[in-house]
Chain A
Amino acid sequence: MAVGLEQEVKNEAFVAGFDEAASRALAGESAVPALRELREVRFAEYRAVPLPTRRMEEWRRTDPARFPFERMKRLPTIPRGACAPHAWDDLFDVIVSVEDGAFDIRDRSGVLEGGQVLVAPLEQALREHADRVKPFLEKRARAEAPDKFEALGDAFWNAGFFIHVAPGVELERGVLLRYRQSGAGGILIPRVIVAVGERSRAVLVESMESPDGVELMSVVSREFHVAEGAKLQSTTLRAWGDRTVHLAGDWARLSRDARLEWITLNFGGRLTKVRFGSDGAEPGANAELDGLYFASGEQHVDQKTLQVHSSPDTYSRLLYKGVAKDKAHSVYQGQIVARPGAIRVDAYQRNNNLVLNDGARADSMPGLQIDADDLKCSHGSTVGNLDEDELFYLRCRGIDEASARKALIRGFFEDVAGRIPHECVREVVHSQVDAKIG
């Protein structure tokens, strides 16, 4: 469907450094034929997708040419190696660390032993558990065709993981996925496929970080499959350093009566463009989507969310709240999509923005795309500065202006921050917010 500016398709179909030779080189790094085949298929898909241009509605505010692919180097497949322990390790069942060119999987509570839960690099999963991973490679969680960068992530990932929870299993403390990169100039491309079996319950926390001052890039593509009656609770914390460039494309597919609670926290990075969709693919699916973002300095954060309802009787609720400060530019693009026949859908989308000073900019593009009747879809969006009356109220009570502002901004974030299930993540959010308020 033609939404937005005329689409101009460029002929050169490759992102710099991600061409056929690179694909072959990457495939050659593995001895698993199934993986080589998979890469070939995904490369063909990637090749067919046109490069985004600013003429496309979604990219109008974030020039795709700003992504410094030509200055960066694709990293080879990340091998298994030792990773330093982390304070959060004790809080989870399984910890997957990707740290400076090595990954490590640690099982803290023995959940992997019974085989009910599988957490493995994609290559190993393809070799040893083909029956479990194959269905989720064939059936995509995406409700829409991937864009160029999502397709790039599918084809060129160098850190791929498969997480599978068998039906009826409760993975109480869940899986922690940590990405930490400190070397300059590399492109880390994680690909994560999560499949939560029927009536299972899983928790997933992802944390992404890099030191300030180091220029590097990451391109993430993820697909979540939540089976009938299952529940997935996912938290994504992006706390990249101030020169990291980040691209991500995430999709979650919800089967009958499945529930997804997904909290996205975008704080770090110089340039961030993330795209994320949930698909209520079967009746009864229920998606709760929350997000926080705080763009300061010269940060540019562009987020697109899609609440797709391809089936009747599905529900979604989204709340994204963000602050723009200094010379930062935040973009929120949201779309509720009700496909033909998706009746009795209930969908809500809200985006609240604080613009703390002149020179900072917040763009908000909530959207509804409704091809069915008998449903209820709505969105709300606000942009404004801190409430003068609230500031005055606090100052009347002897609170100095800086503290009052801080309290109000923290308060603004609190309705989402309060929903973060993990204390440790909440603490990072609070410290990031405090540091950014300055």
Chain B
Amino acid sequence: MSEKSAEQVLADSEYKYGFVTDVEADTIPMGLNEDIIRMLSEKKGEPEWMLEWRLKAYRRWLKMKEPRWANLDFPPIDFQALRYYSAPKKRAEAEIDPELQKTFERLGIPLHERNRLEGVAVDAVFDSVSVATTHKEMLKEKGVIFCSFSEAIREHPDLVKKYMGTVVPYTDNFYAALNAAVFSDGSFCYIPKGVRCPIELSTYFRINAMETGQFERTLIVAEDDSYVSYLEGCTAPLRDRNQLHAAVVELIAMDNAQIKYATVQNWYAGDKEGKGGIYNFVTKRGHCRGRHSKISWTQVEAGSAITWKYPGCVLEGDHSVGEFYSVALTNNKMQADTGTKMIHIGNHTRSTIVSKGISAGESNNTYRSLLQILPDAKHCRNHTQCDSMLIGPLCKANTFPNIEAENGSAVLEHEATTSRISEEQLFYLKCRGIKEEDAVSLVVNGFCKEVLKQLPLEFAVEAIKLLEMKLDKSVG
């Protein structure tokens, strides 16, 4: 796995990432029970405490009911018909595929420009395991730990034990419990006190095997006065069957620490008829534990048959800041129910929410959020801007914010709009000789600008391309 993988978040409307990598895989039998979990844990060579934790989560999961409250429509998931572990046997082979090169060319990114991404350390997760982590040595010098989750369990058990499950406990929800029981890999980052992580950290997730669920777990801990910027990208092959991706991401920011977390999600979204595609059911939460800490979520959700996630912040430390910037694009028969949760516990905590939803085709795009000011949280501030753009007569856009203010000193603002892509703007651009498709992408870019500018430059460029290609042929 090399640096170029960060660029792999790109795809086009025909989903160039739909190829299957032909590698020999090491798998375990289908289905889910305690023996499977023991087998999975053993394969990964995990210590006893980890297995115990998994089993506790599994027993809890058995007692939980699958939630159905979201504005989503999907058939029941047979959790016994999934394979919970699949790993390539020859790790070095993962992802190096000539088709990727073609894709880059088509996207107009000359390969020599990959050098730009020199400043990114990548952890590549292929199906159930992490295949490679780059720039490790350099990071080590700074005291930054960046490795796969399995490695962290082996090498840094104390840190894992101390932080894992403290932001998203396995009791949190149905999919978080399932993830805790069967998670296979993911990334672990630890930024020690006073360190500003010199390069971007990145994880690239790839689902390859058939009938495999991907359950990764990411944990980022930023100690006092530290800073880290983290990116994740995801793709999967074209398959007729739906595949499940249920991840858990936990972020912890101590005093004055700052975590920036960016996602460009481009899982396979199914074909035009809505056949196949990934179910992306993810629990992501950041915990601002320290004073003046800051957690910022940026997401570009352009893939998945179904996206169901609410990256949130628990603002516990006084003066802590939570941010959520999101672009969610749905096309064809995709469904998205996404948004955020901001829980204000500390005094003077602030949060900003900017959400841009774009629905095209026959898709259903829902923004849902919770903004909660607890009774003892004084002088909290929130601003929410939530816009939806409709392209085509058959798409749906919904907005369901929940605002709960239990303290008199809070100042909260929420604004939302839903409208069709402006005919006037398109006309104006077309008058100037700009093709309709280019005009649409210009207008969409402008619409998403506030969010895209939060992304690191390379990612922003690619996210724009991604949006353009996803919308290709959806106008006219």
Contacts and interface: CB of A to CB of B under 8 A. Distances in A.
Contacts of A380: 413-416
A52 to B, nearest CB: 15
B407 A358 contact: yes
B442 to A, nearest CB: 19
B396 A379 contact: no
Contact of B69 (A2, A343, A358, A383): A2
A365 B416 contact: no
A360 interface: yes
B408 A375 contact: no
Given A367-B399, A368-B388, A368-B398, A362 B71 contact: no
Contacts of A371: 396
B69 A363 contact: no
Interface string B358-381: 000000000000000101101000
B417 A378 contact: yes
Contact of A381 (B396, B414, B417): B414
B426 interface: no
A365 B401 contact: yes
Contact of B400 (A3, A376, A382, A384): A3
Given A374-B420, A377-B417, A366 B401 contact: yes
Contact of B399 (A363, A368, A376): A368
A345 to B, nearest CB: 10
B401 to A, nearest CB: 6
B418 interface: yes
A383 B407 CA distance: 10
Given A358-B375, A381-B414, A384-B412, A343 B393 contact: yes
Contacts of B373: 383
Interface in B422-460: none
Nearest to A7: B69
B96 interface: no
Contacts of B403: 363-365, 381, 383
A374 B393 CA distance: 8
B183 to A, nearest CB: 26
A12 interface: no
A1 interface: yes
A366 B395 contact: no
Interface in B341-360: none
Contact of B416 (A4, A353, A374, A378): A378
A90 interface: no
Contact of A358 (B68, B408, B411, B419): B408
A3 B71 contact: yes
A357 B400 CA distance: 27
Interface string A374-412: 111111111111000000000000000000000000000
Contact of A363 (B67, B404, B409): B404
Contacts of B408: 355-360, 385
Contact of B388 (A1, A370, A384): A370
A373 B407 contact: no
A133 to B, nearest CB: 38
A169 interface: no
Contacts of A116: none
Contacts of A357: 408
B405 interface: yes
Given A369-B398, A373-B392, A379 B405 contact: no
Contacts of A365: 400-403
B391 interface: yes
Contact of A382 (B71, B388, B398, B413): B413
B410 interface: yes
A360 to B, nearest CB: 6
Contacts of B376: 358
A9 interface: no
Nearest to B415: A380
Contacts of B302: none
B391 A373 contact: yes
A371 B418 CA distance: 11
A383 B410 contact: yes
Contacts of A184: none
6 contacts: A364-B414, A365-B401, A367-B400, A368-B388, A373-B420, A384-B412
Given A364-B414, A366-B416, A380-B414, 16 more contacts: A361-B404, A364-B403, A369-B398, A370-B397, A370-B398, A376-B418, A376-B420, A378-B415, A378-B416, A378-B417, A380-B413, A382-B411, A382-B413, A383-B405, A383-B411, A384-B412
Interface of A: 1-6, 57, 343, 353, 355-385
What are the 4 tightest A-B residue pairs by CB atom distance, in nearest-first order?
Answer: A378-B417, A373-B390, A368-B399, A381-B414
